[in-house]
């Protein structure tokens, strides 16, 4: 990989991982345009590490409170545990783990079918248009009142299924999970919080698992400077993209990204003819 390719892919990962425009769909398209058939798994892991750190930096207070309450919950008695659980943060962690489990199970069950759509740009364009439809539908939602204290078990199950659907190239993970949360009547801030905290174990965890299990050492010889550059670019781009997207979600403007999805889908169809 050339340095220019590295920078393009890292910037693309940082922006599209959080903007609801599908990072996987854009990577399929850009790899096709650059003539890159396979990106080393180590490089992919580094990119996802960068965006994972971006989430941690944006939500470090919430993450710290969750870990603090979880530790308190672990050492307290039965009655105190119930009170700590009902305060919200322990329940939030549990629901995130449930969603991760649902995504993992569905991803494993439908792995062969889902993998057939990768490296096929036309499918990425089709699913990108589907993402556009999902986002456009949020224009009719004013925002609900539910938060972690009022949602029940079906919530993480449905969000986990929505995230599994986003394994398809062109379906945005953030778009699918945030929109689903809004459709279920949650507050905008909670829909965003749950979606992005869910990304930490789901996105980075999936990349790490793939790196460990596939035993692909193609990227082990990559220049360390290139890997560090890719990490920093994806982190910085991801940080600012995430901060900006939160503003869009809070303002009820996430539907605006649908027009971009439609435009890329249509333009890409003409380019690939």
At residue 217, the pLDDT reads 53
Distance CA 232, CA 225 (A): 11
Q: What's the confidence (pLDDT) of residue 273?
A: 72
Per the CB < 8 A criterion, the answer to whether 127 and 20 are in contact is: no
Task: Check if the beta carbon of residue 67 is closer than 8 Å to that of residue 122.
Answer: no
| pLDDT score, position 195 | 96
DSSP reduced 3-state for 146: strand
Listed as ranges, residues in the chain with pLDDT below 70 are 1, 36-39, 77-87, 119, 211, 213-222
Q: Would you state the pLDDT for residue 38?
A: 66
SS3 171: coil
Instruction: Tell me the pLDDT tens digit for each residue of 146-183.
Output: 999 999 999 999 999 999 999 888 899 999 999 999 99
d(CA 27, CA 25): 5
């Amino acid at each position: 990989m050339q340095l220019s390719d590295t920078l393009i892919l890292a910037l693309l990962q940082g922006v599209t991982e959080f903007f609801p425009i599908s990072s996987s769909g854009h990577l399929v398209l850009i790899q096709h345009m650059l003539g890159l058939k396979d990106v080393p798994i180590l490089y992919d892991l580094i990119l996802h590490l960068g965006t994972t750190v971006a989430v941690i930096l944006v939500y470090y207070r919430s993450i710290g409170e969750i870990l603090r309450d979880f530790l308190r919950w672990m050492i307290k008695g039965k009655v105190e545990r119930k009170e700590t659980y009902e305060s919200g943060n322990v329940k939030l962690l549990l629901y995130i783990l449930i969603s991760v489990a649902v995504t993992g199970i569905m991803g494993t069950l439908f792995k062969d079918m889902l993998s057939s759509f990768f490296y096929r740009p036309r499918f990425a364009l089709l699913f990108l248009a589907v993402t556009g439809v999902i986002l456009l539908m949020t224009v009719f939602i004013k925002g609900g009142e539910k938060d972690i204290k009022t949602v029940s078990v079906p919530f993480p199950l449905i969000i986990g299924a929505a995230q599994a659907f986003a394994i398809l190239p062109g379906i945005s993970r953030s778009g699918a999970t945030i929109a689903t949360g809004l459709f279920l009547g949650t507050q905008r801030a909670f829909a965003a919080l749950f979606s992005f905290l869910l990304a930490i174990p789901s996105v980075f965890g999936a990349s790490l698992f793939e790196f460990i299990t596939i035993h692909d050492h193609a990227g082990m010889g990559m220049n360390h400077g290139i890997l560090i550059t890719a990490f920093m670019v994806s982190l910085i781009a991801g940080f600012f993209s995430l901060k900006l997207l939160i503003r869009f979600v809070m303002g009820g403007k996430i539907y605006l990204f649908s027009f971009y999805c439609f435009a890329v889908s249509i333009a890409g169809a003409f380019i690939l003819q």
